[in-house]
Amino acid sequence: MSLITCENLCLAWEGKTAVDRLSFSVAAGDYLCIVGENGSGKSTLIKALLGLKKPQSGSISYGDGLRQNEIGYLPQQTPAQKDFPASVREVVLSGCRARPFYGPGEKRRAMENMERLGLVELQKRCYRDLSGGQQQRVLLARALCATRKLLLLDEPVTGLDPTVSAELYRIIQELNDEGVTIIMVSHDVDCAIEHSKTILHLRTVPLFYGNSGDYRLSEIGRSFMEGGEEP
């Protein structure tokens, strides 16, 4: 049984077909990387997986005990967030579901996730004063408060320098080793192949879907890695 199964999924964005006849599934413990150029339908697919967009046709089903609102989402940062006056602890805690207040259980979970990502010393610091890498770790901790089953990461290393990126990839790898299922959207195809188990190459229609070793050897994979040009 898969966590997520997409069957013949078609999605539209502003009246145009963004994703066409896409079928794939994500099993528990998987590390799927979705690659493709800008405008290839990656962002639309994310919205659909999060339940923020209805499919034109086809279906997305959730199984294996995963509910649709149990996806831990790491979004790309918005300009409004960059100068948001909130402490690290407040941001992490906001990943827990308030009913409408946070109980001791939620606070403990926030604390655990801050420990997990090395944020305990930073918890009183203001989010806007942190470096890009630290901010991503805060958002990752928040996502882990929402779920420990599946993380959906949208271009997590954009704007980070190589050392910080490597560190973030390492953290994601560790989480995956602990059993957290990862779906990552990226245009960094080399890192995608290096870390992920499965690759989905999207250009409206799926161009490749299979394990990352095979992708490296495939024609589409090779040409995308070399020049970023699709055949």
The residues that touch another protein, with contacts defined as CB under 8 A, are 50-52, 69, 71, 73, 75, 78, 80-81, 84-87, 90-91, 93-95, 97-98, 100-102, 124-126, 128-129, 142-143, 146
Q: Are 167 and 180 spatial neighbours (Cβ–Cβ below 8 Å)?
A: no
What's the min distance (Å) between Cβ of 28 and another protein? 20
What's the min distance (Å) between Cβ of 190 and another protein? 28
What's the min distance (Å) between Cβ of 147 and another protein? 8
In this structure, what token pair is assigned to residue 146?
């929402």
Q: Are 192 and 184 spatial neighbours (Cβ–Cβ below 8 Å)?
A: yes
Cβ proximity to another protein, 100 vs 105, nearer residue: 100
Cβ proximity to another protein, 32 vs 71, nearer residue: 71
Cβ proximity to another protein, 97 vs 108, nearer residue: 97
Cβ proximity to another protein, 156 vs 206, nearer residue: 156
Distance (Å, whole) CA 73 – CA 49: 10
What's the min distance (Å) between Cβ of 183 and another protein? 13
Q: Are 216 and 196 spatial neighbours (Cβ–Cβ below 8 Å)?
A: no
Strands (DSSP E) contained in 63-187 are 71-74, 150-154, 181-186
Which one, of 183, 190, 181, 187, lies nearest residue 153 by Cα?
A: 183
